[in-house]
């Protein structure tokens, strides 16, 4: 049967030339069927069983993959729901926080305005002292800045000189390296010395910067002390006002007490005078009757 298949192919190929276009489809299907039959005849029963087993394994894997896809889709939907809930909660929290921040900002602005009003009312001699200290600190800072700039410029010039010297020495070393190998050690020592000088100048620059930082810290402490002095002055003024009020109340009470006392004394004197006059008049009347 297998040996006769090429003959059928040749017959079919010859018959195609004699048929019309309507039968071409039938001929192509027959050729495909012949190919399938060839494959089936060429394959053994073991190959067929293996192929079927492979197809079954592929189907089972496909089923498991479909199950996993469905499970993953469900998990994805659940995670999407949870994320949407968390996003809503975060949005609500964000709105609450924004409203609280706005209220706090309003309160802070109001308190700042009140504090500014109070400070403008109670500023005096302390402000002058503060201004003087501020001017002195600014002058010191300007002097330190100038010295820092000068040191930086000097360091830059020295750095440029050192770089020029190093470049010259490198070029000389490259040109005369074969003749003057023994001079390289001396030049290296000079370079190390210059490097040490440069590092020393860097240290000095760092010290100047640290001193500037210390001055800025002292300036901040002076500002804080001034603020504390202002607060103490405000408290002292408040206490003085309370004492003045209390003194005025005590003076008024004392004056009223004195007035009452004087009135009582005058009333008592008036009563005594009236009693004395009545006693004298009674005695004179008795003598006349006798």
Over its length of 290 residues, how does the chain's per-residue pLDDT go in tens digits? 333 444 445 555 555 555 555 577 777 878 887 877 777 677 677 777 777 788 788 888 888 888 888 888 888 888 888 888 888 888 888 888 888 888 888 888 888 888 777 777 766 666 777 778 888 888 888 888 888 888 888 878 888 888 888 787 777 767 777 676 666 667 677 788 888 888 888 888 888 888 888 888 988 888 888 888 888 888 888 988 888 888 899 988 898 888 888 888 888 877 766 665 555 554 444 444 43
**Please, what's the b/e burial string for 65-99 (b: 16 or more CB within 10 A of its CB; e: otherwise)?**
eeeeeeeeeeeeeeeeeeeeeeeeeeeeeeeeeee
Here the contacts of 33-41 (C-beta below 8 Å, separation 24 or greater) are 34/5, 34/8, 34/9, 37/5, 38/5, 41/1, 41/2, 41/5
- Which pLDDT does position 264 carry in this prediction? 85
Identify the DSSP state of 177: T
Q: Residue 208 burial by CB count (10 A; 0-12/13-18/19+): exposed, middle or buried?
A: middle
Structure tokens at 226: 């001034």
Q: How far is CA 202 from the centre of its chain?
A: 33
- Which pLDDT does position 198 carry in this prediction? 87
Structure tokens at 81: 């729901």
């Amino acid at each position: 049967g297998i040996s006769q298949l090429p003959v059928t192919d040749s017959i079919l190929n010859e018959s195609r030339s004699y048929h019309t276009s309507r039968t071409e489809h039938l001929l192509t299907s027959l050729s495909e069927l012949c190919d399938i039959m060839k494959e089936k005849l060429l394959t053994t029963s073991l190959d067929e069983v293996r192929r079927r087993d492979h197809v079954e394994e592929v189907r089972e894997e496909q089923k498991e993959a479909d199950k996993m896809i469905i499970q993953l889709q469900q998990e994805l939907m659940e995670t999407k729901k949870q994320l949407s809930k968390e996003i809503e909660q975060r949005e609500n929290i964000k709105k609450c926080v924004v409203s609280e921040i706005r209220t706090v900002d309003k309160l802070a602005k109001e308190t700042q305005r009140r504090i500014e009003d109070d400070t403008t009312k109670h500023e005096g001699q302390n402000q002058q002292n503060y201004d003087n200290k501020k001017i002195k600190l600014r002058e010191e800072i300007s002097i330190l800045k100038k010295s820092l700039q000068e040191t930086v410029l000097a360091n830059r010039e020295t750095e440029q000189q050192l770089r020029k010297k190093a470049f010259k020495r490198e070029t000389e070393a490259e040109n005369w390296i074969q003749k003057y190998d023994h001079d390289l050690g001396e030049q290296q020592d000079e370079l190390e010395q210059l490097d040490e000088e440069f590092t020393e100048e860097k240290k000095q620059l760092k010290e100047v910067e640290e001193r500037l930082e210390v001055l800025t810290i002292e300036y901040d402490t002076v500002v804080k002390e001034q603020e504390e002095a202002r607060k103490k002055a405000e408290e002292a003024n408040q206490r003085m006002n309370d004492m003045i009020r209390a003194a005025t109340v005590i003076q008024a009470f004392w004056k009223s007490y004195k007035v009452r006392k004087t009135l009582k004394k005058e009333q008592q004197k008036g009563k005594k005078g009236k009693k004395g006059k009545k006693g004298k008049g009674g005695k004179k009347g008795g003598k006349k009757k006798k």
